[in-house]
Chain A
Amino acid sequence: MTRSRWILLACGALVWVGAVGLGFKYLLDYSVEAGTPASAPERWPTESRIPAPGGAYTLVMTIHPQCPCSRASVTELNNLMALLRRDRVKGYVLVVKPADFPDAWIATESVRNAARIPGVDVIVDIDGKESSRLGAATSGQVLLYGPDARLRFAGGITPERGHLGDSAGRQRILSLVRTGTADGKDSLVYGCALGATICPPRPHSSNTGM
């Protein structure tokens, strides 16, 4: 091969490596782009349609039925509830549905999977009223209230957007339920916005939901 061809090939390889590297950076940045944290009430809202915690922990997850990232949140909820099956935890999944949208809009894999989780009830949340009451703004938001109806945890239970695996949120919930303490009371939440805003906050934004 001639010298000029070598140079051309080296330039092509450099451009290729750079482009692929930038592509992966774009994907990774997106995957750690956290959603808006919840502004959950410190005490269980009395006007809620969900039964108030009575001697047991109450765990609520809000989901946007069409959000692809929330499939991972629901899978992680399934794993979490399996780990907590010997503990007294009642789970609810709020499926946000605009009133003017057809029922078929919420007939998604995430909702079907949520309905199959033992110890979890699925509630259709028309226009997200219940989610608003609980201060949730992002699909995949988890709120844990203690037997005394006080907020113990608010955050997500996936390690990043739409990804399965162990996460700080899961570890903290497990620790809170089993020992009453944890190294934190929140975690980043990853998922689609439940409301109308289209721009999620920048990566690594602070997510102190409490």
Chain B
Amino acid sequence: MEESVSGVMRGLGGSTAERAGVLYSEHVQARRAAADRMFAILMVIQWAFAVALALLVSPYAWAGKTREFHPHLIAAIFMGGGIAIFPVLLAVYRPGWVVTRHVIVASQMLWSALFIHLTGGRIETHFHVFGSLAFVAFYFDWPVLATATVVVAADHLIRGLLYPESVYGIPNPEWWRFLEHAGWVVFEDVVLVWFCLTGLKEIRTIAARQAQVETLKESEEAKSAALEMVLKEIQPSYSGSRH
């Protein structure tokens, strides 16, 4: 973008600027609704994956020769379904709504927590948190990154206080230890917030250019119409003077 957004906007007339604003809102809204739909599909895929993972890794709990369904399998079916259902319903019935994306983002971070549990705290599964944050940036809405960060920090804080060994492996970690985990999330957030703001700026520039093009087109059309009218007006007198 050679020209700045404000430069482009300054160059627009009142109605063009208004039109640019409308186009910007439409573009952003369309992107956010598309992201909602993407997450709705992702929620269902994650649910299926969680059940498959539990079936593969821990289908049964054993006691000697006897076995019963493993709590992880039950959790994958019911908790996975529970985590997915509310955001999916919102994505279907209220796509693009601000509440929808905050609920979706909170659910996505809960999926990370569930996957980490189902895989026995594997360090590799923690990458789901960071992958999810990148997906969340598709919304071009930095406050949803704050929601994601709060959910991750709250999960670590609550578990650190009530089940410290489940997070840190030691029974008496320092109270502030959750901040270390949340800090790495914030580290990624910084880049993603910048990405969101830059993305919005680009959408604004595109909307402004589109509005300009529309205005020029309208003005050209108006000129052509006026020219045609003039031609029509002068044509009879011109043909009359020839006879």
* The stretch of A147-155, A164-172, A173-181 that contacts the partner chain: A164-172
| In the complex with contacts A68-B58, A165-B169, A166-B169, A28-B163 CB distance below 8 A | yes
- Residues of chain B with a CB closer than 8 A to A95's CB: none
A20:B169 contact, CB within 8 angstroms: no
Q: In the complex, which residues 166-210 of chain A have their Cβ closer than 8 Å to any Cβ of chain B? A: 166-168, 192-198
Given the known inter-chain contacts A23-B75, A159-B165, please indicate yes or no for A166 contacting B170, CB distance below 8 A: yes
Judge if B223 is at the interface, Cβ distance under 8 Å: no
How far in angstroms is the closest Cβ of chain B from A201? 13
User: Is A31's CB within 8 Å of the partner chain B?
Assistant: yes
Closest to A64 in B: B62
A72 at the interface (CB under 8 A from B): yes
Chain B 121-168 interface residues, beta-carbon cutoff 8 Å to A: 121-123, 159, 162-163, 165-166, 168
Tell me if B120 and A72 are in contact (CB < 8 A).
yes
Most chain B CB atoms below 10 A, which of A19, A20, A139, A168? A20
Q: A-B contact count, CB below 8 Å?
A: 113
Min distance, Cβ B89 to any Cβ of chain A, angstroms: 8
User: Is there contact, CB below 8 Å, between B62 and A160?
Assistant: no
Contact partners of B103 in chain A: CB under 8 A: 13
Within 8 A of B (CB), among A87-106: 98, 101
In the complex, what's the smallest C-beta–C-beta distance from B231 to chain A, in angstroms? Answer: 55
- Across the interface, B121 reaches (CB within 8 A) one of A30, A98, A163, A195, namely A163
Separation of A32 and B169 alpha carbons in the complex (Å): 12
Q: Are A20 and B83 in contact (CB under 8 A)?
A: yes
Give the size range of A's interface with the partner: 35 or more
Contact residues, A55-105 vs B (CB, 8 A):
64, 66-69, 71-72, 98, 101
Distance of A167 Cα from B168 Cα, bound (Å)? 9
Q: Which of B65, B78, B113, B114 contacts A196, CB < 8 Å?
A: B65
Interface membership of A107, Cβ < 8 A: no
Q: Is B64 an interface residue (CB 8 A)?
A: yes
Check B120 against A27 for contact (C-beta < 8 Å).
no
Q: How far is the CA of A24 from the CA of B110 in the complex (A)?
A: 9
Beta-carbon contacts under 8 Å, B49-65 to A: 57-65
A68 to B114, CA, bound (A): 17
A163 CB to nearest chain B CB (Å)? 4
A45 in contact (CB, < 8 A): no
Cα–Cα distance between A72 and B103 once the two chains are bound (Å): 33
B233 within 8 Å of A (CB atoms): no
Decide yes or no whether A12 CB sits under 8 A from chain B. yes
Residues of B within 8 A of A28 (CB): 159, 162-163, 166
- Whether B11 sits at the interface, judged by CB under 8 Å, is no
Determine whether B232 belongs to the interface, using a CB cutoff of 8 Å to chain A. no
Find out whether the CB atom of B65 lies under 8 angstroms from the CB atom of A168.
Answer: no
Contact between B62 and A67, CB atoms less than 8 A apart: yes
Q: Which residues of A sit under 8 angstroms from B13, Cβ to Cβ?
A: none
State whether B113 touches A66 (Cβ < 8 A): no
* A1-45 near B? 1/0 per residue, CB < 8 Å: 000000001001100100110011011101110000000000000
Known: A28-B166, A64-B64, A68-B70. 19 other contacts (CB 8 A): A12-B86, A13-B86, A26-B75, A27-B71, A27-B72, A31-B117, A32-B165, A68-B61, A98-B65, A159-B121, A160-B165, A164-B122, A168-B171, A193-B62, A194-B64, A195-B63, A197-B63, A197-B64, A198-B68
Which B residues contact A (CB, under 8 angstroms)? 57-68, 70-72, 75, 78-79, 82-83, 85-86, 99, 103, 110, 113-114, 117, 120-123, 159, 162-163, 165-166, 168-171
Query: Residues on A close to B: CB < 8 A?
Result: 9, 12-13, 16, 19-20, 23-24, 26-28, 30-32, 64, 66-69, 71-72, 98, 101, 139, 159-160, 162-168, 192-198
What would 27 A/B residue contacts be, using CB atoms closer than 8 Å? Answer: A9-B99, A16-B86, A20-B79, A23-B78, A23-B83, A24-B110, A26-B75, A27-B114, A31-B163, A32-B166, A68-B59, A68-B60, A68-B72, A72-B120, A139-B62, A159-B166, A159-B170, A160-B121, A160-B163, A162-B58, A163-B120, A164-B121, A164-B123, A166-B170, A167-B170, A195-B63, A198-B66
